[in-house]
Amino acid sequence: MTRKAIGALFAASMMLASPALAAGPWVRTWDAVPVEIPSAWPGHPIIPMSDVTFRMVARVSAGGSSVRLRLSNEQSDAPLAIGAVHVAVAGPDGQPQPGTDRIVTFAGSRSPTIPPFAPLMSDPVVLPVPALGKLVVSIHVPGEATRVTIHSLGVATTTIVPGDQAGAVSLTGGRQATERYILSGIDISGGPATSTIVTFGDSITDGALSTKDQNQRWPDILAERLKKAGMTRFAVANAGISGNRLLLTGAGPAALARFDRDVLAVPGVRYVVVLEGVNDIGWARNAHVAPPRPEEIIAAYQQMIARAHDHGVKVFGSPILPYKGAGYWSEEGEAVRQAVNRWIRTPGHFDGIVDLDHAVADKTDPLTMGAAYDSGDHLHPKDAGYKAMAEAVDLRLFH
């Protein structure tokens, strides 16, 4: 074999995942929790899809030298055949940077099948990624793709194109969506990060009404603060689900039902910040039933705290944000929020408090969100509100 041929063979081998080349502990540097399949959306038009490639850009929190991908078929009762998966470092235009494209394998296979209701972890891929860098992930589904598992509130652009274009630099044809398809997590190793902070919540943690493709969710800005402070040993995983509740399944599994999967099973988890409960209170009004008693919501927090402590994970709680003026606000619900928030702020319950409530509350009417932070629906912050929330997090909690 000629020297040129040997070099080409070596280069080709480096394009494949290599489990032996991963270094150090894994942490979850990016997350998009599996929620549902598109046909589960009430009144949502179903767009038939078959033999398509999904391309997504994800900004990681922590950097390193090797990555692995978590794919999800957890919301489907049918196996999902994958044709090809590629990952690359994204350039300023969102396209793969030259020389960074890698073929992703799964137990050595380029074309795995994900069993029903299951996730699938990739082999490690040697790919240097800086903290706050962006990755391009492309997933080809050769068969029917209408009912694949998604994260419904992506607040980011997904490009869906015909055929296998997973390895293409520029895509041809297709359409755009804002959901995350199949990809549910990115882990990283070989960098300074050794611990993961999971932000666990509903649409406010998920970044509802933040600017699309600008990474303005409060966990995104928290990751920026950590890097600026030189706290590069921490990754941030956003486990928010729009519409999520503590006690009842609706938009995704209830928080109590998903806590083990979305927090305790996350690689490197050491801390979790919990901001959940407003949908339990508010949706009760929409359903014309009494809101849950404060004791029921508190019991859910206590369950999560106990389960986290069993795994050596510290739990920081945030009081529920003000939402007077939102469509599902009521005086009865407000009384529940106040009682719950008093318990959250009482020392000895959570391992620490992250007061996101006061960060965005109106100074003269603390039952409402300040106009400078309100997106307009009196429930979700806008970019400035998410920034204020992230800046309210005391970084000294993480050590």
Query: Domain check: are 293 and 156 in the same one?
Result: no
pLDDT at 10: 38
Whether residues 265 and 163 share a domain: the answer is: no
Mean pLDDT along residues 341-358:
98
Q: Tell me the average pLDDT across 103-112.
A: 98
Residue 95 sits in the same domain as residue 46: yes
Together in a domain, 169 and 213:
no
Q: Are residues 96 and 153 in the same domain?
A: yes
pLDDT average, residue stretch 91-108? 96
Q: Name the DSSP letter for residue 262.
A: I
Does the residue 56 lie in any domain? yes
How many structural domains compose the chain?
2
The domain boundary residue, chosen from 186, 203, 229: 186
pLDDT digits (tens, 9 = 90+) for 234-265: 999 999 999 999 999 988 899 999 999 999 99
83 pLDDT above the threshold of 80: yes
Q: What is the CATH number of the domain that holds 220?
A: 3.40.50.1110
**Residue 156 belongs to some domain of the structure:** yes
Residue 17, pLDDT score:
41
Q: Are residues 348 and 202 in the same domain?
A: yes
Instruction: Quote the percentage of the chain above a pLDDT of 90.
Output: 87
pLDDT in tens, 321-337: 999 999 999 999 999 99
Residues 254 and 125 in one domain: no
Per-residue pLDDT at 42 exceeds 90: no
Identify whether 46 is part of a domain. yes
DSSP track, 171-196: --S-EEESSEESEEEEEEESSS--EE
Residue 1 pLDDT > 90, yes or no?
Answer: no
Q: Using pLDDT thresholds of 50, 70 and 90, give the confidence band for residue 6.
A: very low
- Is 24's pLDDT higher than 80? no
Instruction: Indicate if 292 and 353 belong to the same structural domain.
Output: yes
Q: Give the pLDDT of residue 39.
A: 63
pLDDT of residue 37: 83
Domain boundary among the residues 186, 213, 228 is at: 186
pLDDT tens figures, 183-211? 999 999 999 999 999 999 999 999 999 99
Pair (205, 151) in one structural domain: no
Q: For CA atoms 11, 123, 33, 391, give the dihedral sign.
A: negative
Same domain, 114 and 146: yes
pLDDT of residue 84: 98
Q: Report helix, strand or coil for 140.
A: strand
Strands, E, within the chain: which ranges? 27-31, 50-59, 64-72, 80-81, 84-89, 102-103, 113-114, 119-121, 125-129, 134-144, 150-151, 158-162, 175-177, 180-181, 183-189, 195-201, 234-240, 269-275, 314-317, 352-353
In a domain, 18, yes or no: no
Residues 221 and 129 in one domain: no
**pLDDT reported for residue 182:** 98
Distances in Å between the Cα of 33 and the Cα atoms of 73, 109, 203, 276, 367 are: 12, 24, 12, 15, 30
Domain boundaries, position 90: 31-186
**In this model, does residue 392 exceed pLDDT 50?**
yes
The least confident of 23-32, 217-226, 297-306, 353-362 is 23-32
Last residue of a domain, one of 156, 186, 216: 186
Same domain, 126 and 203: no
- 383, pLDDT greater than 70: yes
